Amino acid sequence: MTTSLTPDTNHLRQICGLPTELALRKAASFLAHLVKDPDFLESRILPFLEEARYGEDWYVAHRHDAEDGSFSLQVFVWPPGTGTTIHDHSSWGAYCCAIGSVLEERYERLDAGSRPDRARLRKAWQLSWSGEDGASTVMPGDKGIHRVGNPGEGTAISVHLYGPQIGEVDGRDYDPGRDYVCDRREGIK
């Protein structure tokens, strides 16, 4: 579904045109306000709460992609016990919970990246993020390797903003069990 998700597309496009670190600060602030906006909550978040009870996996319930590729704003629904695999993104990203909380595990690379299909990871930290905690941000590529999930008993809903994609792939997926990494063409955040 791609309809008008956002109240101010120009503001988003402006944020996403900034240098990465500044864009991330502005994106975090934008999202922290957006998830408290009563109109946004009522129209874009609460309708998914009921539907989410029947979900068996996490999913993107709503998505707005800028026509020029400068940003993508997405609403993620996390039924209890769901989560992503370990991945990174070909863009910067920021997300903030509107309902409930998610657990984020962040990883760093130990190898020099000399082999395209090999990556040795070490868990750097994990944090639980609720709306009160503000937004979490990731840099593009292996500066933002993470896994996000909802280990709790209630549904979580988060709002994500991604900047312009660098390169052709959406990001990469990691399997630390065999020190493996591969490109991801599309789909997972």
How many Å apart are CA 96 and CA 119, to the nearest integer?
A: 28
Instruction: Give min distance, CB of 144 to Fe ion, in A.
Output: 7
Binder among 44, 109, 184, 189 for Fe ion (CB under 5 A): 189
Nearer to Fe ion, 172 or 189 (CB): 189
Nearer to Fe ion, 48 or 162 (CB): 162
Nearer to Fe ion, 14 or 32 (CB): 32
Instruction: Give min distance, CB of 84 to Fe ion, in A.
Output: 6
Q: Which one of the spans 9-17, 41-49, 69-77, 181-189 is the region binding Fe ion (CB under 5 A)?
A: 181-189
Strands (E), the chain: 59-65, 72-78, 82-83, 86-87, 93-99, 101-109, 121-130, 136-138, 145-150, 156-162, 171-175, 180-184
Nearer to Fe ion, 62 or 189 (CB): 189
How many Å apart are CA 151 and CA 45, to the nearest integer?
A: 20
How many Å apart are CA 57 and CA 53, to the nearest integer?
A: 10
DSSP letter at 69 equals S
Q: Does 160 bind Fe ion (CB under 5 A)?
A: no
Instruction: Give min distance, CB of 102 to Fe ion, in A.
Output: 11
| Chain contacts with Fe ion (rule: CB under 5 A) | 189
